[in-house]
Amino acid sequence: MTDIELQEARTQKWHLDGQPVRTLDEARAFLESVGFCLMYPQRPPLPVPTFVGAWVGADDHLPTWQHVFADPRAKEATDLMVRLLRDKAAYEAPLFDENNAFLVAASVFPYFYALVGERNPKQPPKGTSSGGYSPLACDAFEMIRRRGPISKAKLGELLGGSLSVAGPSSALHGLTTLPKKDRCGTNCRAGRRTWSTKASAFRSRKHSRP
């Protein structure tokens, strides 16, 4: 295969050929086809498919995560991406940048988790003195596990009203060192997200496999 043929194959497979992904079924088929993708392009560019590129159907003038609030295409693509998460057809995973979601297809996620996740997804995170989770991250995980999907603002209230604005963000970021949490909702314009634990999603996916 020549470089030109490779580029043409990528353009078609990544839906950059004027055939945009707009429905849940199309988005599910796209992600299962590529296995994983970034939400937005990286700078410098990486040879990786992007969900916003598949939604637009092209790869020119795509928004990066720094400009999502100024581009209506980003909000519409994010809405579809969140539907994938709610449908358990995709999972977010920490890889490049917490502001640029790395999306993994449901069929790929168990293998990804086996490589980078903890061996026992049922076990809550534990704080240690040698690189473990912070006490705040452990408390945040337990709060999400007991209360279910929750916004960052509500999480801050439940963890303690005296926490700084950065407190919940720090706790959630601490949990991204391993796939322990998952976004289950978002409001792109307001910048609000809701979070749930990823362990239950992993268990349901694991038990559903033949």
CA 179 to chain centre: 10
The residue extents of the domains of the chain are 1-105, 117-203
Give every CB contact of residue 74 below 8 A, 6+ residues apart in sequence. Answer: 40, 52, 63, 67, 68, 188
Give residue 28's pLDDT.
Answer: 96
Most confident option among 71-80, 90-99, 139-148, 189-198: 71-80
Question: What six digits make up the tokens of 163?
Answer: 């926490």
Question: Angle 198-208/109-116 helices, nearest 10 degrees?
Answer: 130
Q: How confident is the model at residue 121 (pLDDT cuts 50, 70, 90)?
A: low
Fold of 117-203: Arc Repressor Mutant, subunit A (1.10.10)
More confident residue, 173 or 149: 149
Query: For residue 195, is pLDDT > 80?
Result: no
Average pLDDT of span 12-34:
96
Dump pLDDT digits (tens) for 157-183: 777 754 555 555 655 655 555 454 455
Q: Give 24-66 pLDDT, tens digit per residue.
A: 999 999 999 999 999 999 888 889 999 999 999 999 889 888 8
| pTM of the full structure | 0.65
Q: What is the pLDDT of residue 130?
A: 45
pLDDT at 147: 73
Q: What is the pLDDT of residue 142?
A: 77
For residue 122, is pLDDT > 60?
Answer: no
What is the structure's pLDDT at 138?
76
**According to the model, what pLDDT value does residue 5 have?**
93
Please tell me the predicted confidence (pLDDT) of residue 55.
Answer: 96
Highest mean pLDDT among 5-9, 107-111, 144-148: 5-9
Distance CA 50, CA 128 (A): 36
Selection from 93, 110, 111 nearest residue 102 by Cα: 93
The maximal CA–CA distance of the chain, rounded, in angstroms, is 60
